[in-house]
Structure 1
């Protein structure tokens, strides 16, 4: 199954990789917004969270620039230095104008063969739309959702999205995105939470005690070998799958 191959590649690729390489940005790192994003102090964020009325928030956000978030600004990226791309996310901490809106947003810049490793959002459902290139998406729902063609297997919802096509990733579901081409791809993701959060499944799994990890993998990984994997699992956007890398000779593998 494609999802299983992605998991395997995520582990094996970074077992043999050396230091990470920062992929070039898909867009220019220099902001093109006419009004730059203006930071808001921690005290101001607390005032916004405690404001008795929505109209009181406008008094705290007294500069029009407080209502602009520039996804192209290098300083606002939440996952800089990814192996296969970068991600910028707007939440209520780095964009306090969202406080009270119940909404958040992210933009993902996947380089050729870029792979946003399997992850979950603990507090939100994600609606993702591709705005440039092609992206393969996969989602594994909760326990008990089985493949209609083979009820003995979990259902994996896989789709290939092209420009302006969208798919949902439900709150708490494991999902992933992969750019199968040698050219960059970009997606925009909206969330029904100001604090959607994210947890990378492999990174979190290997954070457990080594004996727990070994048991979770059915002893396929010896407890003594767990430390070899830790620190080599990519935090977010990785560079894989091997079939894609093999057809894109201009993409460096480390």
Structure 2
């Protein structure tokens, strides 16, 4: 068992015993953490050098979750560094286990939004810039798009050590959901569904923004 998983299980076990026995688990949890993470260096993590993934639409994502930073286990937090290129987008997605708070550290022109539950509102904030912050409630679909011609960076803080992510278009179209189901969802003939799936591999930046910024 990996150290991170082992420590998480230990913390959970001690907390459960504390509830059943009626005592304060803080010292026991503290002692376990001291044994698992004995050095100050165990509590630091270079987010800027973390492995990056790219969503194919101009967003670079560098995460600091419990898998990469084991000291987060049991603390209920994680964070991510986003760099979004001009006209790039962080696709609509959901964090099933976390509320997300973002703080913009570079750039301007970030448009963000989220959709409430069925029957609720779609809320959009435009042209956020360095120093601004916004929040996305747990479980609600949300997105970010850079409408400026310069890169934008922001820190995303999440209220769970393993918040999870469901990228909405990918989970609908990039999985084995039957074509006849998707034909109803998108109101297209079933034979057109594969064409929609194929477009996932050739996403492009928003056309008007590309023209304005001179991006080929």
SS of equivalent to 2:2? helix
Higher helix share: 2
The answer for the alignment partner of 2:143 in structure 1 is 176
Query: How many angstroms does 1:63 deviate by?
Result: 4.0
The answer for the alignment partner of 1:65 in structure 2 is 41
Counterparts of 1:225-236 in structure 2, within 5 Å, are 225-233=192-200
Q: Could you say if the C-alpha distance between residues 216 and 64 of structure 1 is closer, same or farther in structure 2, counting changes exceeding 3 Å? A: same
How many pairs align?
A: 195
Question: Are the equivalent residues in 2 in contact too, given 1:114–1:179 (CA < 8 A)?
Answer: yes
Q: Could you say if the C-alpha distance between residues 174 and 120 of structure 1 is closer, same or farther in structure 2, counting changes exceeding 3 Å? A: same
Q: Could you say if the C-alpha distance between residues 232 and 94 of structure 1 is closer, same or farther in structure 2, counting changes exceeding 3 Å? A: farther
The answer for the alignment partner of 1:158 in structure 2 is 124
Q: Could you say if the C-alpha distance between residues 74 and 107 of structure 1 is closer, same or farther in structure 2, counting changes exceeding 3 Å? A: closer
Mind listing any 5+ residue stretches in structure 1 that lack a counterpart? Answer: 1-41, 146-154
Query: How many angstroms does 1:197 deviate by?
Result: 1.0
Query: How many angstroms does 1:136 deviate by?
Result: 0.3
Counterparts of 1:116-135 in structure 2, within 5 Å, are 116-134=90-108, 135=110
Query: How many angstroms does 1:222 deviate by?
Result: 2.2
Q: Which protein has the larger Cα radius of gyration, Structure 1 or Structure 2?
A: 2
| TM-score normalised by structure 1 residue count | 0.71
The answer for the alignment partner of 2:114 in structure 1 is 139
| TM-score normalised by structure 2 residue count | 0.83
Q: What per-residue deviation string (whole Å, max 9, x for no partner) do you get for residues 134-185 of structure 1?
A: 210011111121xxxxxxxxx2211121111111101111111000011100
Question: Are the equivalent residues in 1 in contact too, given 2:57–2:90 (CA < 8 A)?
Answer: no
Question: Are the equivalent residues in 1 in contact too, given 2:63–2:79 (CA < 8 A)?
Answer: yes
2:82 corresponds to 1:108: yes
Mind listing any 5+ residue stretches in structure 2 that lack a counterpart? Answer: 15-28
